Structure 1
Amino acid sequence: MADANLAQDPAVAEAKARRAAQRRVWLTRLAGFVVVAGLLWLGWYLLIGRNHVSTDNAYVNAEVAQVTPLLSAQVIEVRVKDTQAVRRGDVLVVLDATNARIAVAQAEADLAAARRRFRQAAATSGALGAQVSGGAAEIARAEAQLVSAEADLAKARTDLQRRESLAGTGAVSGDELTAVRRSFAAAQAAATSARAAVQQARAGRAAAAGQLAANEALVSGSSVESDPAVLAAKARLEAAKLDIDRAVIRAPIDGVITRRQVQLGQRVAQGAPIMSIVPVNTLYIDANFKERQLRRVKVGMPATVVADIYGSDVVYHGKVVGIAGGTGASMALIPAQNATGNWIKVVQRLPVRIELDPKELAAHPLRVGLSTEVEIDLTGAD
């Protein structure tokens, strides 16, 4: 028994030695593998890794167009539904334009009245000009009558003085003297009336001249189509016609209808959103990078994007077109207040906008809100 144990001891020792040797070989290989992996990672980091930043906190976004009516009216036709693709200029909704047509008719009547008033004002200027010219003749006639009346007054005065000088001699009777005095008084009244007639003629001419000047100020330098009142009436007519055009609501951009909130027969209010259009051909990526990742990021750097909907089989190429002016927390509706003593630092993220290649986007369409992974090449820039 003892001899058998002695015979087995060398074999056991040899097996142990062999296992130890194998363990050393595997440990050496593992150490070599770790060293090689470390060197490969270091090489990758020095050549590639440190020149790229990436994040999976990235989402598809777009400048969504809000469709709003520009007048209040009843909906008489709805031609689109949610998820429907539309082109710019396609008719979306038709509103009742009855009130707009009535407004156009009223505006056309106002325009015709404005043109008529201008023609009337222009004709009035001619009439007033004739009155001014006639006023000059009337003044000349009144002045001539005044000269005649003053001559008659002078004669009556001379006759009166001659009769009065002879009254004491008895050569002139009392009746004759009375008649001469009456003639003198009549001549005085006629002269006074003639002077008043001259003043009246001059005042009439001045009034006509003033009216002519006022009327000329209204029509001078204008035609029936350039008169301010006519232009204002034209503007009101154009505004009324524009309301008729606005009764047909068209798509402002290419895209897909979403959040349609309008129904047939509904009365929509001016400025109230009735649907949205997502421009699926001009989507972009909002990638939220950590603040330390943005030390070397600049506008124009190339980027690659992988969307979860397609996986790594589809890679989009784009470039950085902008970096947000504030972090998501600072732009929140209720920003965080960290002015207290109980403050814990939280790494902030800053949105970076990535513009995608339109051809790749058309080949593999995306939708707003989809998750993506973004990687930016820090060595390239425009």
Structure 2
Amino acid sequence: MTKITHVVEHDVYTTTEEESPAEEVARKGKRKRLFLALGASVVVLGGLYFAYDAIFASRYVSTDNAYVGADVAQVTPLVAGPVVEVTVQDTQAVKRGDVLVRLDDTDARLALAEAEAALQAAERRVRGIVATDSGLASQVAARGAERAQAAARLASRKADLDKARIDLERREALAASGSVSGEELTSARNAFNIASANLRSAEAEQALAAANQSAAASQQRANSALIEHSTVDTNPEVAAARARRDRAKVDLERTVIRAAVDGVVTRRQVQVGQRAQPGTVLMMIVPTQQAYVDANFKEVQLAKVRPGQPVTLHSDLYGSDVEYHGKVVGFSGGTGAAFAVVPAQNATGNWIKVVQRLPVRVALDPKELAQHPLRVGLSMNVTVDVSE
């Protein structure tokens, strides 16, 4: 039975209409069909979810928290000097070996000329030492001959002394009998004294000759030590001078600063007239052909991610029409929070658990990069196939 309320000119009255059995059965059948449709929809949606999870979601992990990166090359001078020329501008593409900056090379050229002169002087000194060594060897031989000569004189003086001794002893024996005059005895004694003096002189000469020979030999050994086991080219003094010359030559070459990699110039901070100092960053070169992607996956997504798995990427720059392919290279050593300046935990003990993200390095296909270049910092959408 159904109650119907009517309103007529501010008067309200209620009438009651009875529902027929056929209408009640139709109404209940309609409600039942609605509940059955709702249940079927829930079952279908659940089945679709489980099918999606089994077929797709369990095979792939995705994130849009990913950005293009590259190993940026900083251009820094290795020698000091005023800048006389800057040949590149920001956004300019360069090749490895291209000239970027020229420094004033006046000081470097003078240093090279000085080093060249020092090398030549060292070579001449060594050649002089080699020549002196031959002369010292001749002196040692001459001192040896003098020593031999002194030894011969010493032997002669010994023989003279022996003869004078014998003559003196013979005359002294005959002097007692009067057979030898006093004058003759005196002459024999004088001869003996002279022979003794000559012997002592010969001994002194021999000692001097031996000392001269030893001194000459020592001088030769000292001179030979400077050139022993070496030639003019391999002599340590010449090698040191050559190294200083080579260093001066390298410093001269370094006054021309060249690109170390292929890439795009960015953040140029050098101007003509500026004095460049070693270690000062003049500009940066971004090697766009060696770009990679760091994808920051949630820690709950990484259970099945392994190095070498294929990756599909899309850039916000080109949209979904351009697809990049790559592979997982490896994982970062820590999450972003682990290396943050302000840690998640503080001294008061307050702490809120937050799902962490771990950077995953993805290498890109160089051919695709050449067709559609990327720049450092661009956003990427990354999907990793974890089924392999």
Taking structure 2 as the reference length, the TM-score comes to 0.87
Describe the SS at the equivalent of 2:358.
strand
Match of 2:266 in 1: 258
Q: For 1:15 and 1:327, how far apart are their aligned partners in 2?
A: 67
Q: Deviations over 1:216-275 (max 9, x none)?
A: 333233222122221222111111111111111110011111111111011111122111
Match of 1:90 in 2: 98
Match of 2:68 in 1: 60
**Pair 1:143-2:151 in alignment:** yes
**Pair 1:305-2:313 in alignment:** yes
Q: For 1:288 and 1:32, how far apart are their aligned partners in 2?
A: 39
Q: For 1:331 and 1:206, how far apart are their aligned partners in 2?
A: 74
What are the ranges of 5 or more consecutive residues in structure 2 without an aligned counterpart? 1-15
Of stretches 210-219 and 345-354 in structure 1, the one that deviates more from structure 2 is 210-219
Flag the 1:339–1:304 CA change in 2: closer, same or farther, 3 A. farther
Deviation at 1:214, TM superposition (A): 2.9
**Pair 1:353-2:357 in alignment:** no
**Pair 1:328-2:336 in alignment:** yes
**Pair 1:223-2:231 in alignment:** yes
Flag the 1:327–1:142 CA change in 2: closer, same or farther, 3 A. same
Q: How many residues align?
A: 375
Of stretches 291-300 and 29-38 in structure 1, the one that deviates more from structure 2 is 29-38
- Of the candidates 210, 235, 259, which is equivalent to residue 202 of structure 1? 210
- Of the candidates 157, 163, 166, which is equivalent to residue 158 of structure 1? 166
Deviation at 1:338, TM superposition (A): 5.2
Q: Please tell me the residue identity of whatever aligns with 1:320.
A: V
Q: For 2:342 and 2:174, how far apart are their aligned partners in 1?
A: 120
Q: For 1:161 and 1:290, how far apart are their aligned partners in 2?
A: 124
Q: For 1:71 and 1:290, how far apart are their aligned partners in 2?
A: 46
Q: For 1:341 and 1:334, how far apart are their aligned partners in 2?
A: 14
**Pair 1:45-2:53 in alignment:** yes
Q: Deviations over 1:259-306 (max 9, x none)?
A: 111110111111221111011111111111111111111001111112
Describe the SS at the equivalent of 2:320.
helix
Of stretches 318-327 and 172-181 in structure 1, the one that deviates more from structure 2 is 172-181
Q: For 2:262 and 2:28, how far apart are their aligned partners in 1?
A: 73
What are the ranges of 5 or more consecutive residues in structure 1 without an aligned counterpart? 1-7
Q: Please tell me the residue identity of whatever aligns with 1:324.
A: S
Paired residues for 1:181-196 under 5 Å: 181-196=189-204
- Of the candidates 356, 369, 373, which is equivalent to residue 365 of structure 1? 373
Deviation at 1:187, TM superposition (A): 2.1
- Of the candidates 106, 110, 114, which is equivalent to residue 102 of structure 1? 110
Q: Please tell me the residue identity of whatever aligns with 1:283.
A: A
Describe the SS at the equivalent of 2:132.
helix
| Preserved CA contact (<8 Å) 2:161 2:195 | yes
- Of the candidates 218, 224, 247, which is equivalent to residue 239 of structure 1? 247
| Preserved CA contact (<8 Å) 2:83 2:274 | yes
Describe the SS at the equivalent of 2:328.
strand
Of stretches 252-261 and 184-193 in structure 1, the one that deviates more from structure 2 is 184-193
Flag the 1:271–1:203 CA change in 2: closer, same or farther, 3 A. same
| Preserved CA contact (<8 Å) 2:345 2:351 | no
Q: Please tell me the residue identity of whatever aligns with 2:308.
A: G
Flag the 1:266–1:220 CA change in 2: closer, same or farther, 3 A. same
Flag the 1:336–1:176 CA change in 2: closer, same or farther, 3 A. farther
Describe the SS at the equivalent of 1:48.
helix
Paired residues for 1:166-185 under 5 Å: 177-185=185-193
Q: Please tell me the residue identity of whatever aligns with 1:79.
A: T
Q: For 1:250 and 1:22, how far apart are their aligned partners in 2?
A: 83
Flag the 1:15–1:97 CA change in 2: closer, same or farther, 3 A. farther
Taking structure 1 as the reference length, the TM-score comes to 0.89
Q: For 2:344 and 2:18, how far apart are their aligned partners in 1?
A: 75
More helix by share: 1
Match of 1:4 in 2: none
Of stretches 87-96 and 32-41 in structure 1, the one that deviates more from structure 2 is 32-41
Q: Please tell me the residue identity of whatever aligns with 1:228.
A: P
Q: For 2:268 and 2:348, how far apart are their aligned partners in 1?
A: 45
Q: Please tell me the residue identity of whatever aligns with 2:101.
A: V
Of stretches 297-306 and 148-157 in structure 1, the one that deviates more from structure 2 is 148-157
Q: For 1:89 and 1:20, how far apart are their aligned partners in 2?
A: 86
Deviation at 1:82, TM superposition (A): 0.9
Q: Deviations over 1:62-106 (max 9, x none)?
A: 110111111111111100111111111110001111111112111
Match of 1:69 in 2: 77
Q: For 1:305 and 1:330, how far apart are their aligned partners in 2?
A: 27
Deviation at 1:35, TM superposition (A): 3.3
Of stretches 332-341 and 63-72 in structure 1, the one that deviates more from structure 2 is 332-341
